[in-house]
Amino acid sequence: MADGIGGILGGLGLFFAGMWLLSENLKVLAGYRLRILATRWIPDRFAAFGWGMLAGSVVQSMTTLTFVAGSARQAGLISADRAFSIVLGGNIGTSLLVLIVAFDLEVAALCVLGAAGAAMASGWTGRYRNHATLLFGLAAVFVGLFLAKESAAPFADHVWVGDLAKWMSYSLWFAFAGAALLAFVMQSVMPVIILGIGMTAIDVISVDQLLMIAYGAWTGSSFLLLALSANFTSASRQVAAYQMLVNIVSLAIFMPIHFVEIHSDIPLMKAAMLATDMEVGQQMGLFIVLTNIIPAALLFPVLDPAVRQYEKLWPMTRLERMSQTRYIHDRAFNDLDMALILAELEQYRVLAGLSEYLGAVRGNEAISELNRANGLLISQIEEFLEEAKTHHPAEWTEHLNSVLVRQRILVWLDEQVVDLCKMLNSVPDRSGLTGLKSSVVEGLDAVLLVIVQEAQAAGDAAEHPFYAARIVDRGGFMRDVRDMYLREDAGLSREERSGLLRITNIVELVFFLLIEFMRQAEQRKAA
């Protein structure tokens, strides 16, 4: 008995470790290159459906795949119909795990585990080590489930198994509720169903209860998505809601059919599966795959009405549009100078985002959401520049150096302006620093807007000595303002004096960074 418990726990541990390896290495591999390849490889919804099947069979978690598709949708990399197609294909892909485990492909999984483990541990894999680790994690998922399934078989001879089966037979809803809770906790549907198949094989539960486990797992997954998507932005919420719709359609189709078979003895889908000569695990594996294929076949032809309805319910917000790139694209890598010019245009959009921060402070609003949107834009520009360097490793130019330096300055600027805005928001309405708050907001906002507007009017992020002169004047003005407020007759409290110093110091640093940003632009033009 101890061997069986150890085998089950070890198998589940191997399964979760494999899932963790899959998740961590997918994060490493999911850089800008993968995202631009996604836009190239997913030209239409049919391709998205196929890639969804492949991704689902690898990730083995519709929660994870839904988040990935939602993130790609939010970033503007794919349209809503392609994101929904990925979800439909992903549900079929995840169900293939049940089929693989049911048909006992353990030897193949062990071979892959050994080969991937050797490749992962050796040094010859080089930059493909993450790919080897990803494959090792996938094999570990399969081997863990095989081990848990085989370790459960000896329990069939124990007396307590018969007692458990008798208790479980009292109600199908026990199985349903338990599976819903387990799927919610494990954040995955198919492992719960596979455990149910193992329990069916040793006669702990019946086939009817196994099907209720499948329906309960779908329900638990839907509640998990509902909880996790509560704070999603509109584009991501569209994809999460669509995955919940897929689960609801599956339940609406198959649960009534199941109860009709139970209470009326009319042979339907379950009877057709059980009439085959396969083992019960294989029969149920095919049944689970079928329960994912049928909803996909029904929903795929009506994607357009679904897209219109979901975009109406959760339209893309201004912040989501702000976080999406407008100029850079993967085709620009053929010409390094053109790619850098497009990156410069995106950089000026980041400066415009800093102006949005100040507008929020003007209205006493929080800037956390604005900061998140601008941060996403900054990250995408950085990834684009890294990919541009990869495409042109031998072409390090002054233009490239200037853009990279300005990108680092933008990161620092974003951090400093966020800190400044937080300080300004903390200034009380009747404080002695209220006038300073207004002056800082209006003055810095004016500088940012002039820089952005002139850059757009010129059509080239290049030589702007006028900006630098204006910023220098503003920096000197801030020192004069600080001296004025620190006079003995200014009437400021100790706390207000401390706030004055912190605010003016950050403003001076912001001006310094803006000067350096424009100086890099001028040097690039001169070169």
**Rounded average pLDDT per 10-residue block, the chain, 527 residues:** 66 66 56 58 87 81 79 77 93 81 64 74 63 71 64 52 52 83 78 77 78 90 84 80 93 91 82 79 82 93 93 84 82 83 91 92 88 89 86 81 92 94 86 82 86 65 48 58 64 78 88 86 65
Tell me if 517 sits within 8 A of 410, measured CB to CB.
yes
Token representation of residue 490: 């200014």
Q: Where are the beta strands (DSSP E) in 207-348?
A: none
For residue 90, how far is the Cα from the chain centroid? Answer: 15
Tell me if 97 sits within 8 A of 142, measured CB to CB.
yes
Tell me if 254 sits within 8 A of 176, measured CB to CB.
no
Predicted local distance difference test score (pLDDT) of residue 302? 94
Predicted local distance difference test score (pLDDT) of residue 96? 79
Q: What residues contact 134, with CB distance under 8 A and at least 6 apart?
A: 21, 22, 25, 26, 29, 58
Distance CA(278)–CA(116), nearest Å, equals: 32
Its pTM stands at: 0.68
| Domains by residue range for the chain, with CATH | 2-313 (no CATH), 344-526 (1.20.58)
Which of 99, 104, 95, 131 minimizes the C-alpha distance to 116?
131
Tell me if 176 sits within 8 A of 219, measured CB to CB.
yes
Predicted local distance difference test score (pLDDT) of residue 106? 62
Cβ atoms < 10 Å from Cβ of 443 = 17
User: What are phi and psi for residue 432, nearest 5 degrees?
Assistant: -70, -10
Predicted local distance difference test score (pLDDT) of residue 462? 45
Predicted local distance difference test score (pLDDT) of residue 16? 66
Token representation of residue 414: 């974003």
Total number of residues shown for the chain? 527
Longest dimension (CA), the chain: 96
CA torsion through residues 243, 319, 76, 137, sign: negative
